[in-house]
Amino acid sequence: MSFLKNLFGKKAEPVQEVKPIEPEYSIEERLKYKVYPRIKNVNSQNFQHLYHKPLGGDLTLIFVQDINDRFSYIQKSEAEQLMHLIDEWQNNIKEVESELFTTEELDGSIYFNEPGDYSNEKIFDPNFINFACEKLITDKVIISIARRHMLQVTNFYNDFKDNEMFFWRHFSAWRNSDLPDEVISEYVLIGEKDKGITDIVSMGFRMNAYERDGKYVLSYSVFDDGDSPIGDKIDFAEIIESRKQKLTY
């Protein structure tokens, strides 16, 4: 856990509950600013009052503008008049700078996106996915956005141990309430070279750590079988293929 805190423990803006109130700014004022996407969990409080696009699973896209150094959320009542700006969100996210990095411990098996306002949303930039594939020497990647500012990406074709490390870090980030950033999703996403993000996957299993012969060992249980234990091995690729669904946006 200390690794995650050190890597992602930067101070984040508190997640503010968005209530259905009168629009903050006039349409005339809003027309001066670009629109950016924000990935949100569908269970977030009051998100239903905002204009949004479902992505699949428990994810949706809401839309914001950076006005006076703070996020201003676009409400449903404003969307029609701002649609020509909203429609530019993919072009706008391409302009956001990003920097993938790894650590000495992981030695290139997992890369992270430098935390920023839209660091998770860079997954919608096909060039970013291509760059991740280039870094990982592959044509297909698995992406975790368990929390805000905490994008992790790895090679889809990893061996068992590298995939196990990736998913352990993914679930640890998602569950660790001590981390300062907003929870996004337990789902992972699949990206492909020259195709961008293609699928979203609910993995449907639980990872548990127990001590054996003085060492901590991971074991697995599957939700579909009533949380039934299945031992120390799991076929990540098989689960992904059987549970994936197309991402829509």
For 104-144, what is each residue's pLDDT tens digit?
Answer: 999 999 999 999 999 999 999 999 999 999 999 999 999 99
Q: How far apart are CA 109 and CA 227, in angstroms?
A: 29
Instruction: Look at residue 211 and tell me whether its pLDDT is greater than 50.
Output: yes
Rounded (5°) CA angle 187-52-184: 30
pLDDT tier at 232 (50, 70, 90 boundaries)?
low
Mean pLDDT throughout 162-175? Answer: 92
| Tokens read off for 150 | 């905490």
- Model pLDDT, residue 224: 58
